[in-house]
Amino acid sequence: MSLFDRLFKGITKSDNQPSNKGKGSSRGKYYPEENSPIDEKFTYNFNRNGGKFLYCENMAEVSESFDNILLENDWYENDVFCIDETLKSKFTGYNLNFIKKTKATFFLTRCESLVCNNGSILLSSRQIKEKKLDELPSNIVVFATTSQFTENISEGLRIIKNTCDNFIPSNITTIQDFETGKEKDFMSYGSSTKNLYLLLLEDL
């Protein structure tokens, strides 16, 4: 399956499906229904934010997709900022130089959750220590699983609290702006735009 196919795998609506025009609704024909599954809402919102979404059914597909990302961007033999030792072991064999300094070609990381109502990626100090978003490389590859979908940020924060034995990490943030080169509006002023790939592994 090509990168393009995987990018739009989560969009299930057909071009031939009737739109809501004439019914008093401004919702686009690809906009998920209000009661849609959260994975469909995340896919729509994430793509709308400019993220690159790659759905993988197993680790073999994850490895293939990761290899394609490196090939597409010519990132072989480059420095990679990564503080997750488990991720380093998962993605060995690509002639990458894993470092713990942010001055790198891209950042390889996990996340806390995938927030469906706005298509953002929730991170904490468990992934980025005390770094601010603008200190991270402009290119990011996130490895996540389908069990990490949350409806909203509040739900994501509850999960962090539960998994950290009621201890809240000091640094919690979200990335939502993935479309580089676009003109900023007042809603996105001050945000840090990232070129972000999401490797999403099916684990449910």
* Model pLDDT for residues 112-139, shown as the tens digit of each residue: 999 999 999 999 999 999 999 999 999 9
| 55 within domain boundaries | yes
- Determine the structural domain holding residue 168 and report its residue range: 3-10+29-182+192-201
The bridge status of strand 52-56 relative to strand 172-175 is unpaired
CATH code of residue 51: 3.40.50.10420
| 49 within domain boundaries | yes
| 86 within domain boundaries | yes
Q: What is the pLDDT of residues 141-183, one digit of tens each?
A: 999 999 999 999 999 999 998 887 767 788 999 999 887 555 5
Question: Any alpha helices (H) in the chain, and if so which ranges?
Answer: 3-7, 38-48, 59-73, 85-90, 125-128, 153-163
| 145 within domain boundaries | yes
| 136 within domain boundaries | yes
Helix (H, G, I), strand (E, B) or coil at 107: strand
| 19 within domain boundaries | no
- The span from the CA of 92 to the CA of 80, in Å, is 12
Q: Name the domain count of the chain.
A: 1
- The span from the CA of 66 to the CA of 74, in Å, is 12
Residue with tokens 């503080």: 83
| 111 within domain boundaries | yes
If 0-12 CB within 10 Å is exposed, 13-18 middle and 19+ buried, where does residue 94 land?
middle
Instruction: Pull the structure tokens for residue 87.
Output: 């991720």
- pTM, entire model: 0.79
| 128 within domain boundaries | yes
